[in-house]
């Protein structure tokens, strides 16, 4: 399943830079429909703002989501973009629960904040919940062809 368009959390946008994210541990977590993203300037800025709505741990999904592998911070005309390998979980011992949003965040301290949010995307274009992934099946989130997101001036 391709990731949808990533919306950046404006509360951290002024702090984001190529240098700040290079070498940071970036994660993708899945949250349910109980979460309402607030991407305004004074809105959500920490993983703690979304984590209460994270899908349940177990059955192939681990609390906190997956660490993005092969993260590349790439300079582009008038800015930069973030890319990585695709993210995949495999349902095991039961189903990975239904989810609505994929949330990108930094694991650790950055911008003087603990686990700052970067952006989110809606898993289903409707938007509706992405159905549970049944036991034995993969849940693969394909990184967008042009990277997760770009920041330009």
Give backbone dihedrals phi and psi of 21, rounded to 5 degrees, phi first: -90, -20
Distance CA 24, CA 22 (A): 6
Answer yes or no: is 2 within a domain.
no
State residue 99's pLDDT score.
97
pLDDT in tens, the chain (153 residues): 667 789 999 888 888 877 788 889 999 999 999 999 999 999 999 999 999 999 999 999 999 999 999 999 998 998 889 999 999 999 999 999 999 999 999 999 998 899 999 999 999 988 899 999 999 999 999 999 899 999 887
State residue 105's pLDDT score.
97
Distance CA 45, CA 123 (A): 20
Count of Cβ atoms closer than 10 Å to residue 7 Cβ: 14
Answer yes or no: is 118 within a domain.
yes
Answer yes or no: is 20 within a domain.
yes
Which domain, by its residues, includes 148?
Answer: 7-152
Answer yes or no: is 75 within a domain.
yes
Distance CA 48, CA 79 (A): 28
Return the residue matching tokens 């930069």.
Answer: 80
Which pTM does this prediction carry?
A: 0.94
Q: Which long-range contacts (CB under 8 A, 24 or more apart) does 48-54 make?
A: 48/114, 48/115, 49/117, 50/101, 50/103, 50/105, 50/117, 50/120, 54/29, 54/30
Answer yes or no: is 100 within a domain.
yes
The answer to whether the peptide bond before residue 127 is cis (omega within 30 degrees of 0) is yes
Distance CA 4, CA 17 (A): 22
Count of Cβ atoms closer than 10 Å to residue 5 Cβ: 11
Answer yes or no: is 1 within a domain.
no
Answer yes or no: is 19 within a domain.
yes
Residue 140: strand, helix, or coil: strand
What does the DSSP 8-state code read for residue 41?
T
Whether the CA torsion 26, 31, 37, 43 is positive or negative: it is negative
- Number of domains the chain is built from: 1
């Amino acid at each position: 399943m391709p990731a949808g368009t990533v919306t950046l959390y404006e509360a951290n946008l002024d702090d984001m830079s190529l240098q700040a994210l290079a070498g940071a541990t970036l994660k993708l977590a899945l949250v349910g429909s109980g979460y309402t993203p607030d991407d305004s300037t004074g809105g959500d800025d920490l993983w703690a703002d979304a984590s209460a709505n994270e899908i349940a741990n177990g059955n192939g999904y681990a609390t906190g989501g997956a660490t993005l592998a092969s993260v590349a911070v790439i300079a582009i005309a008038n800015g930069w973009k973030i890319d990585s390998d695709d993210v995949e979980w495999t349902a095991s011992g039961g189903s990975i629960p239904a989810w609505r949003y994929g949330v990108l965040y930094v694991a650790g301290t950055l911008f003087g904040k603990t686990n700052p949010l970067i952006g989110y995307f809606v898993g289903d274009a409707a938007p509706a919940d992405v159905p549970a992934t049944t036991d034995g099946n993969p849940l693969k989130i394909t990184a967008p062809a042009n990277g997760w997101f770009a920041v330009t001036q």
